[in-house]
Structure 1
């Protein structure tokens, strides 16, 4: 079921709900420059057992571009979705940008989540100057240059992304992401730094790191695991979009964790 929802700023978010109506809820959050369809392997694996919610992060897919976006805004969109769907608590899984969104939710809205999964992410992703420079470049020149090189960041050399339909569709989703939406997320990430705060997370937390990820490294995962009491770190032989490159292993890891929390 595809739904258009309104957030607290009066803007629309594109949401998809599938699976079992009265089952535990899992909500997935996409990475920068992608859309909710990147979670297709997880939705297929989980919808027979869970209620599964995916959504296009603001400025991506079919969701509105919203000016002056912050990490807090990205996270509060999730709370607005839960409220709009009358969901009291959910398991939350985010990758990259969605992963740091998971951390913010774990710090400030832990009461709404059974668990968080932080995949291919970090408490501080890249650098402030790097993100702001990229945002400026995208506004000026569009996303074409990023599209031609993104496969080297998203997928490892071991993965035949050229013959994987979902990988190709995900790269295409970057090509059609609004430049303004991408840039707004870049600026949000530029200011997002939770390194001093993640020690305050006390709900069940799974951290998934990609062994070949050049963007958010295994070292980033180790740091988070050391800071978040009781958290679990699993390393997967993949690059930045580990849920697409290694879907079976990602699913096994995630399902085992979620079932341990219930």
Structure 2
């Protein structure tokens, strides 16, 4: 475990792979931590310097009780890169990590080489949905949210056939700090990047889960159609497609990165 101090706040970071290899930064979803990438790192770290970090409010990173926004979440990612002395990186983000990637591609494009944006959206309404989740977390903690979260993340047939994976995912959700979950819910609630992403000029791969009820195939298609030259790949998966279809996900990103 590596803890980096960034502008007086602590972030949990893990680096795998050769120090002189091209950088590949991974960014996790809401209610998860950097362990969600465990299936990808062994393959990707053979060719890349893979940087994983826990988003603000998640895992072992700082989790202040406040409403966050993507300007803050994006600058957190830049702070990690700066602390590691990395000028430019490939990016792979899923869900909230993909949203953070969109912010970086529009606000700091020179820091990103190629970006894979998986199971994500440029806008997710309505606000009442996110306010409801914030209230649920306040009343019952992550225990009140975990089962509904797993149902959104994975189709029923996968939940039933992969009990060990479900146990790992359930534990990951439950260890998410409530304040951090609420802060990131506010960031997603207030996000609208639909116009800004039309100016992105970096190579982008959009990965869509055909069974994803959270960030739907239509959400992914909107991103792909808004970014000139963007590619799109559809996997037969729900929301956490990298966990449900690890081999296919890993290969799709590796092929895109070249």
TM range (shorter): over 0.9
Equivalent residue number for residue 42 of structure 1? 40
Equivalent residue number for residue 184 of structure 2? 185
2: CA distance between counterparts of 1:148 and 1:249?
Answer: 26
- Given that 1:161 and 1:168 are in contact with CA atoms closer than 8 Å, whether structure 2 keeps it comes out as no
TM-score normalised over the length of structure 2: 0.96
Structure 1 portions without partners, runs of 5+: none
1: CA distance between counterparts of 2:59 and 2:195?
Answer: 32
1: CA distance between counterparts of 2:225 and 2:202?
Answer: 15
2: CA distance between counterparts of 1:99 and 1:125?
Answer: 13
Equivalent residue number for residue 254 of structure 2? 255
2: CA distance between counterparts of 1:255 and 1:7?
Answer: 30
Q: What secondary structure sits across from 1:180 in the alignment?
A: helix
Deviations 1:136-170 (A, max 9, x none): 22112212121122221111133246635344212
Structure 2 portions without partners, runs of 5+: none
1: CA distance between counterparts of 2:32 and 2:161?
Answer: 17
Do structure 1's residue 17 and structure 2's residue 31 form an aligned pair?
A: no
TM-score normalised over the length of structure 1: 0.95
Deviations 1:28-50 (A, max 9, x none): 01100010000001101111111
Equivalent residue number for residue 62 of structure 2? 64
Equivalent residue number for residue 99 of structure 1? 98
2: CA distance between counterparts of 1:129 and 1:171?
Answer: 25
The aligned runs of 1:153-192 (5 Å cut-off) are 153-160=152-159, 163-192=162-191
Return the offset for 1:13: 0.5
Q: CA distance change for structure 1 residues 248 and 190 in 2, over 3 Å: closer, same or farther?
A: same
Aligned residues: 257
